[in-house]
Amino acid sequence: MSGIDARDTELKKELDATLQARRELGEEYESALVDSFLEKVDQRIDGAVERRVRRQMAEQQMVVARGSRSPQTTDSWGERYGFGIVSLVLAVPLSAIAGGISDLPGLLVAWAGIVGVNAFQAARVNPDLFRGRRRKDTEDSDWKD
């Protein structure tokens, strides 16, 4: 089993334990249980971001040390695909928690956040994505009068 699969399994176990504890303890502890679970998710995300930043900084330092003027971007199709998968995997427990706590409004807020994070990532990877397409001037066209 790879490290990502093991972490997903661990997070699922944490969610199951949180939901079981909520059933046993009742609604009065729901907020504390949700906060505890979200803290664990935050720690997991922080760790992943920290590892990615360290890796990218090391890669940039290697490029600079080799004499290249501008470091190459490390974004690839695999990273974008992985980001989408992680986003969907995290969307499931976040939707369950938000929907369980505050029904439709909570679910809408959770999904607005998920869409926002993905839109930010898409804009970071492709800055021209949300600017719209520019029309070519008629002078640039091959069809001149």
Nearest to 92 by CA among 20, 136, 41: 41
Q: What is the pLDDT of residues 103-115, one digit of tens each?
A: 899 889 999 998 9
What is the pTM for the complete model shown?
Answer: 0.40
Same domain, 90 and 114: yes
Same domain, 1 and 65: yes
CB-count exposure of residue 144 (10 Å: 0-12, 13-18, 19+): exposed
Q: What is the pLDDT of residues 7-47, one digit of tens each?
A: 678 888 888 888 888 888 888 888 888 888 888 888 888 88
- Looking at per-residue pLDDT, the higher value among 33 and 136 belongs to 33
- pLDDT band of 132, cuts 50, 70, 90: low
Query: Is 138 inside a domain boundary?
Result: no
Nearest to 21 by CA among 9, 8, 35, 7: 35
Query: Is 100 inside a domain boundary?
Result: yes
H and E: helices and strands count for the chain: 3, 0
Number of structural domains, the chain? Answer: 2
